[in-house]
Amino acid sequence: MPLCGWMKVFHELVQRKVQLHNTRQLFLNLGKPKSHSHVLEYSFNDKEHQTEEEVKNLLRSPLIPLFLSHRRTRLLNPEMGVAAKIAPSMLSSDFANLASEAKRMLSLGADWLHMDIMDGHFVPNLTIGAPVIESLRKHTTAYLDCHLMVTNPLDYVDPMGKAGASGFTFHVEVSKENWQELVQKIKAKGMRPGVAVKPGTPIEEVYPLVEGENPVEMVLVMTVEPGFGGQKFMPETMEKVQVLRKKYPSLDIEVDGGLGPSTIDVAASAGANCIVAGSSVFGASKPGQVISLLRKSVQGAQQNN
């Protein structure tokens, strides 16, 4: 069967072994930057796959999970749910061997690599910045899920974009005045915008960012106070996840802090699908087993809902 439309794109991706999570990045990686609407046109107005039934058939391709973050894809194929993404937090890795630690996690089944950027001001800790992302990017094509715990996220957009970040998640607490500008700039740099909330911040504060004309594509619900790995999971934050999932069935909802075998089930049944886990993965004797247990819990909860 001749390959056409987005199947052609998949084919090219597989050939290049590129791991991609949204169509915008897909086209950037193929060297053909396009707008979202152009991508949709490209995908759905294909002459040989015009009917909804035919598009649905394409969606059954085993490669489709790469595209689950694409809103239109989910609308056309609601039974698929929101894909589980397991993101080991590299904060718990051996920073002196970051590239090999990243490769180890990917070979053990990680979907994303969670990168914690801290400025010593928004949080009382200082970690890595764009130069480290740039170095790591030379060693991997993986999705780098960057969590910006910084007071001035806008200052980081250009450097992080140039460095090769994939996701750029800023905190709502420091972006009330300029989130529209932030989201626009993040997208213009080919990154996927996300917004994070600290445990004490009401979830209502993210609604305008999810519902606006230029929305964020992920909400990160902090399940510990940001700043350090290895803290205790705060179950009271689960109400926020439940409320969000009910309101936005196809949104990527990430949880971060204290997640591991003993806490994943409560987060998964609340509706989280992107799971950040640092100490529970890196501290395990068999990290691959923890990654697969986290994934199974999310998938199991989705099947029961």
The number of helices, as runs of H, and strands, as runs of E, in the chain is 14, 8
Q: Which of 161, 190, 226, 271 binds ligand DX5 (CB under 6 A)?
A: 226
Q: Is 94 a catalytic residue?
A: no
Contact 24, 217 (CB under 8 A): no
Question: Which residue's C-beta sits nearest to ligand DX5?
Answer: 278
> Counting contacts by CB under 6 A, is residue 70 touching ligand DX5?
no
Q: Which of 98, 133, 256, 263 binds Zn ion (CB under 5 A)?
A: 256
DSSP sequence for 213-265: SS--SEEEEESS-TT-SSPPP-GGGHHHHHHHHHH-TTSEEEEESS-STTTHH
Question: Is residue 107 classed as helix, strand or coil in its secondary structure?
Answer: helix
> Counting contacts by CB under 5 A, is residue 116 touching Zn ion?
yes
Beta strands in the chain (DSSP E): 85-88, 112-118, 143-149, 167-171, 192-197, 218-222, 252-256, 274-277
> Counting contacts by CB under 6 A, is residue 171 touching ligand DX5?
no
Nearest residue (CB) to Zn ion, 147 versus 240: 147
CB of 89 to Zn ion, least distance (A): 6
Q: Of the ranges 46-54, 72-80, 102-110, 228-236, which one interacts with ligand DX5 (CB under 6 A)? A: 228-236
Q: Of the ranges 40-48, 80-88, 157-165, 254-262, which one interacts with Zn ion (CB under 5 A)? A: 254-262
Four-residue CA torsion sign, 287, 289, 293, 296: positive
> Counting contacts by CB under 6 A, is residue 279 touching ligand DX5?
yes
Q: Which of 74, 147, 192, 295 binds Zn ion (CB under 5 A)?
A: 147
Question: Is residue 139 classed as helix, strand or coil in its secondary structure?
Answer: coil
219 binding partner (options ligand DX5, Zn ion, none; Cβ < 5 to 8 Å by kind): none
> Counting contacts by CB under 6 A, is residue 258 touching ligand DX5?
yes
Q: DSSP letter at 191? A: P
> Counting contacts by CB under 6 A, is residue 229 touching ligand DX5?
yes
88 binding partner (options ligand DX5, Zn ion, none; Cβ < 5 to 8 Å by kind): none
> Counting contacts by CB under 6 A, is residue 297 touching ligand DX5?
no
Catalytic option among 94, 111, 256, 265: 256
Question: Of 266, 247, 154, 246, nearest to 255 (Cα)?
Answer: 266
Give the ranges where the chain is alpha helix by DSSP (H): 5-16, 23-29, 36-44, 52-59, 71-76, 98-107, 130-137, 154-163, 179-188, 207-211, 238-247, 264-270, 279-282, 287-304
- The amino acid occupying position 123 is V
Nearest residue (CB) to Zn ion, 66 versus 275: 275
> Counting contacts by CB under 6 A, is residue 278 touching ligand DX5?
yes
Contact 12, 59 (CB under 8 A): no
Q: Is 256 a catalytic residue?
A: yes
> Counting contacts by CB under 6 A, is residue 5 touching ligand DX5?
no
> Counting contacts by CB under 6 A, is residue 217 touching ligand DX5?
no
Catalytic residue list: 116, 256
Judged by the rule CB under 5 A, the positions of this chain that interact with Zn ion are 116, 147, 256
